[in-house]
Every structure is written in structure tokens, then in C-alpha cells.
Amino acid sequence: MIVAALLMGLMVTTGASVVPEEVAEPVVISQTAFRPIDFVPDGWKLYDKTDGDLDGDGQPDAALIIQRNDPAGVISNPDGLGYDSYDANPRILLVAFQDEPGRYQLIGRSDLIIPDHDSPTIEDPYETMLIKDGKLHLNLQFFASAGSWSMFNRRFQFRWNGKAMALIGFDLSYVHRGSGETRRSSVNYLSGKRQDSTGTIGDGEPDWRWSKLPQGHRPVLGDIGNGFDFEG
């Protein structure tokens, strides 16, 4: 059973939103539910979901992405570049453990890690999410059809450490489509090491530079902030 003290830390407010600031309020999420879908509060909808055992007890746990269901956040762009319309409503990542059949406990939450789809000329920043081999994999992407030459992927791996969903792996791959500049990073929080490389598209194998992480640098899900800003 997850202790109540851990659950108190999950009540955080949402990040930037297309909804006017005066009507934006903290989103209250139930701490327990009979089904994962029951964590979705009024005024929100299920955006994506994946199942699998995250705490090693043989029970199927769940990770959900929910999105505010506000028509004001669906932006019409019929005459502009990019998509004719796009949903800029904010999203929240939730992680819930099934501690017994028919009972799920909320153990992790991030209101910020998934960036808003806030421009008609960018692809949805959210790419994929998967639970595999006891780990939660979350992949984000950036690609713009206009307004930016940059494109990149950020890939996160989380694992339950007995108290929180700890980040155990992070990978970044960046390309500037104009100059051909490339940048790669791969961070292993279990070994406390990272490798980084810079170059151009025409280079061969990356020239990796190894370094040690700062002592005690062990982020958990709630530490990440906006996934596009995270550098490891």
C-alpha cells in the first residue's frame, strides 16, 4: 500500500494553458479509483493509456495521459500554415498502481512534462508511451513545417524506486535542418554517467564524450518540468 504522505505530494497545479488565467484552476485528481479511466476528472478526457506491471507485484498498473476537454482550446486555423485546427489544451501524465484487484492508487503525476500542441505548424509534441520490462517509456518529438529548422526527440525511461517514478534513462537527438548541426546525449542515472556528442549530419559515428553526473542527481517524474526544456 502506498503511504499517504507520498500521495500528498502529487497535488500540483497545471502549467501554461490556452484557457484564460482567471478561469484556470488547480486540477484535482482522485487518489484512488476502481479503474484507470476513473482518474479522469470532469472536464477532461483520456488522451492515451498504457498498461503493464511497474512495481513487480504481477498486477497490471497503468499510465494515462489526460487532456482538458475545453472547446476554447481547439484552435481554428483555416487560412494559415500548418493544420487547419489543433488542440492546444494542456495534458497531464498520471501513473497508477493496482495494489489489489479493482483498486488503483495514484503514485505519480506530471502536469508539465508533455508540452502543449500550441502551434499549427508543429507536430504533436507527444509521440508514444509504453510500459515494458517494468519501465515507463515516454517519447516526445519536435518538428515544424514552418518557423523553425530544429527537430529533436527526447526519450525518458522511468522506474519505480519504492517512493517515486525515478528517471533512470534519458536520450536526446537534435538536428538543425538548415546547418546540418547535430547534438546527441544519453544519460544513465543508474551508473551516474552521461555521454554527449556534437557534429554534423555528414559525420560518421558520433565522437562521444563521457562525464559523471553530479552527486545525488537522481530526478523523479515530478522534477522534470516541461519535457522540451529537459537536458538531463
Task: Give residue 13's identity as a one-letter amino acid code.
Answer: T
The gap from C-alpha 98 to its chain's centroid, in whole angstroms, comes to 21
Rounded CA-CA distance 194/207 in Å is 13
pLDDT(205) > 50: yes
Report percent pLDDT > 70 for the chain: 90
The pLDDT, as a whole number, for residue 134 is 97
Higher pLDDT: 62 or 21? It is 62
pTM above 0.85, yes or no: yes
The pLDDT, as a whole number, for residue 24 is 59
pLDDT(19) > 80: no
Mean pLDDT value across residues 158-168 = 97
The pLDDT, as a whole number, for residue 5 is 37
pLDDT(97) > 70: yes
List the domain boundaries for the chain: 4-223
Q: Which three cell numbers stand for residue 219?
A: 530526478
Rounded CA-CA distance 91/74 in Å is 13
